[in-house]
């Protein structure tokens, strides 16, 4: 990429809130379903119907704002955004214009190598989603060339959070890292499912470029139709390259909306004629203002969970866990919380991470039971790690124990005690097993002596087997080698 230019990127996200009901009526808020079955006079914009805001949706927005350190103003209100579109039932959207529920705040995010970054938020506000139009008659479901459209209003009125970032991102990779952190945070808060594939997270990006080091902003374009994080990254990089090429050739960037073409890997202009939008915002007269009480805000603040960015920072800087594992641990909030409980009663965080992300996650995958909900309590896992660290058991026994604990066997220390599984570290006892194995396999011993050193693994395995797995493997190795070379 051309080093003389830097990209200036802002991201605008729309997130469907995870409430039981829609924003302004009691229709169920759920993905999909038979078309036009989750509709009532309110969300269908019937004559005479009136909106009443969902208290839970407001709390979720405030919680999200608090999680990002935003200011929750003492006064907020809803406004109408007026424009005609067939899947918008009232032909206006109830949104928030100049007094959103949350102002400012910062999203902390990290790059693949673990570098922490921050991107400030402009605002977070609450609005209602539209229905869905399916464009038909053209064969490919796209709007261009279609001869009619079919409208389903199940999604109309679903509560939607709009979260706008400052233009502080500098690359497609940063934009994706920002989105990942935003997504993990909202998931941890229980604000949304944040599934791009189901449309509960949708995002647009504003992209401009400027000479590196310049403080002025260039003309921006708005990129739409990005359907995955990967397409966000590709679209931004493609748009950056396009703008650099135009400027390098003495051209001028046109402020416009551009759509991302996934197949051809380019953005294309979406608006043939530039009709300025005149949304005629005005205060929603069917609703009264919101004044979240300080007590309610503080109650929500106190209830905030540990956030993924906080976890990540602690794991990498305090616990010394690598960026990749730390990212995996914060990915699922319940897994991170489980890991925290393990670490609280163990002082080997790396081993805890290895178990949680390794054996336990494998068992979880195989059985379909989440780690945090499994029979292996955090305390028992810590106990197991303690047994390994103290060399009371070896890793093979540990694995076996873990599988039994998964099935409900309880305390590993108790099993070790009860079944005499403690590791054998007595050189005399192990030497006896070695003696026994070598004399039982004279031909193998001969092979070794003939130079086939790889047969030693077989002999070590036989000794371990003879000890019922309890022998200290390092000691077994050493004694077998000594004996063979004597």
Q: Which residues of 364-393 are buried (b: 16+ CB within 10 A; e: fewer)?
A: beeeeeebbebebbbebbbbbbbbbeeebb
State the minimum distance, in angstroms, from the CB of residue 47 to other proteins: 4
Query: For other proteins, which residue of 135, 170, 202, 396 counts as binding (CB under 8 A)?
Result: 135
Q: Rank residues 46 and 403 by Cβ distance to other proteins and give the closer one.
A: 46
Stretch that binds other proteins, among 28-36, 190-198, 297-305, 440-448 (CB under 8 A): 28-36
SS3 467: coil
* 248-277 footprint of other proteins as x/- string (CB under 8 A): ----------------------xx-x-xx-
Return the residues of window 88-117 that contact other proteins according to CB under 8 A: 89-92
Asked if 71 touches other proteins (CB under 8 A), the answer is no
Asked if 303 touches other proteins (CB under 8 A), the answer is no
Query: For other proteins, which residue of 241, 244, 266, 287 counts as binding (CB under 8 A)?
Result: 287
Query: For other proteins, which residue of 139, 213, 285, 428 counts as binding (CB under 8 A)?
Result: 285
Q: What is the dihedral of CA 88, 90, 92, 96, to 10 degrees?
A: -100
List of residues 6+ apart from 387 with CB closer than 8 A? 393, 398, 412, 413, 416
In angstroms, the CA 322 to CA 312 distance is 10
**Could you tell me the two tokens for 7?**
């990209």
Cα dihedral across residues 59, 65, 70, 73: positive or negative: negative
State the minimum distance, in angstroms, from the CB of residue 123 to other proteins: 20
The answer to whether 399 and 393 have CB atoms below 8 angstroms apart is no
Q: Which helix (H) or strand (E) holds 134?
A: strand 132-136
Q: Rank residues 286 and 419 by Cβ distance to other proteins and give the closer one.
A: 286
Structure letter (DSSP) for residue 420: T
Query: For other proteins, which residue of 35, 69, 104, 473 counts as binding (CB under 8 A)?
Result: 35
Stretch that binds other proteins, among 40-48, 396-404, 424-432, 440-448 (CB under 8 A): 40-48
Asked if 139 touches other proteins (CB under 8 A), the answer is no
Asked if 479 touches other proteins (CB under 8 A), the answer is no
State the number of binding residues for other proteins (CB under 8 A).
72
Query: For other proteins, which residue of 278, 442, 454, 486 counts as binding (CB under 8 A)?
Result: 278
Asked if 55 touches other proteins (CB under 8 A), the answer is yes
In angstroms, the CA 127 to CA 251 distance is 38
Return the residues of window 142-171 that contact other proteins according to CB under 8 A: 143-144, 146-153
- Among 241, 114, 123, 121, which Cα is nearest to 177's? 114
């Amino acid at each position: 990429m051309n080093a003389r230019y830097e990209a200036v990127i802002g991201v605008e996200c729309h997130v469907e809130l995870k409430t039981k009901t829609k924003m302004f009526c009691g229709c169920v808020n759920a993905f999909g379903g038979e078309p036009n079955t989750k509709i009532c006079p309110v969300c269908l914009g019937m004559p005479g119907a009136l909106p009443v805001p969902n208290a839970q949706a407001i709390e979720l927005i405030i919680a999200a704002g608090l999680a990002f350190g935003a200011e929750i103003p003492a006064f907020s209100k809803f406004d109408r955004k007026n424009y005609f579109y067939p899947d918008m039932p009232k032909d206006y959207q109830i949104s928030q214009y100049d007094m959103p529920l949350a102002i400012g705040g910062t999203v902390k995010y990290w790059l693949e190598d673990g570098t922490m970054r921050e991107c400030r938020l402009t605002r977070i506000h609450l609005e209602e989603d539209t229905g869905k139009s399916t464009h038909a008659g053209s064969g490919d479901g796209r709007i261009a060339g279609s001869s009619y459209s079919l409208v389903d209003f199940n999604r109309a009125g679903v509560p939607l959070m709009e979260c706008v970032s400052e233009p502080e991102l500098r690359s497609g990779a940063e934009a994706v890292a920002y989105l990942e952190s935003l997504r993990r945070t909202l998931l941890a808060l229980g604000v949304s499912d944040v599934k791009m594939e189901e449309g509960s997270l949708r995002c647009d990006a504003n992209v401009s470029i400027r000479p590196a080091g310049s403080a002025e902003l260039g003309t921006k374009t708005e990129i739409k139709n990005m359907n995955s994080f990967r397409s966000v990254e590709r679209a931004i990089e493609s748009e950056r390259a396009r703008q650099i090429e135009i400027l390098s050739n003495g051209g001028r960037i046109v402020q416009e909306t551009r759509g991302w073409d996934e197949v051809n890997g380019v953005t294309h202009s979406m608006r043939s004629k530039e009709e300025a939008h005149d949304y005629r915002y005005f205060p929603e007269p069917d609703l009264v203002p919101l004044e979240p009480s300080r007590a309610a805000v503080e109650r929500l603040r106190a209830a905030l969970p540990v956030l993924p960015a906080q976890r990540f920072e602690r794991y990498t800087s305090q616990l010394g866990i690598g960026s990749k594992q730390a990212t995996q641990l914060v990915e699922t909030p319940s897994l991170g919380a489980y890991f925290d409980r393990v670490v609280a009663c163990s002082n080997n965080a790396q081993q805890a991470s290895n178990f949680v992300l390794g054996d336990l996650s494998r068992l979880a995958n195989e059985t379909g039971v989440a780690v945090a909900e499994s029979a292996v309590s955090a305390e028992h896992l810590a106990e197991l790690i303690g047994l390994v660290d103290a060399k009371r058991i070896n890793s093979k026994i540990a694995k076996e124990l873990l599988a039994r604990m998964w099935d409900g066997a309880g305390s590993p220390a108790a099993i070790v005690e009860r079944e005499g599984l403690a590791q054998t570290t007595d050189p005399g006892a192990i030497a006896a097993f070695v003696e026994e194995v070598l004399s039982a396999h004279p031909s193998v011993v001969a092979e070794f002596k003939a130079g086939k050193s790889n047969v030693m693994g077989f002999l070590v395995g036989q000794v371990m087997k003879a000890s019922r797995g309890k022998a200290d493997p390092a000691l077994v190795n050493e004694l077998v080698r000594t004996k063979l070379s004597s």
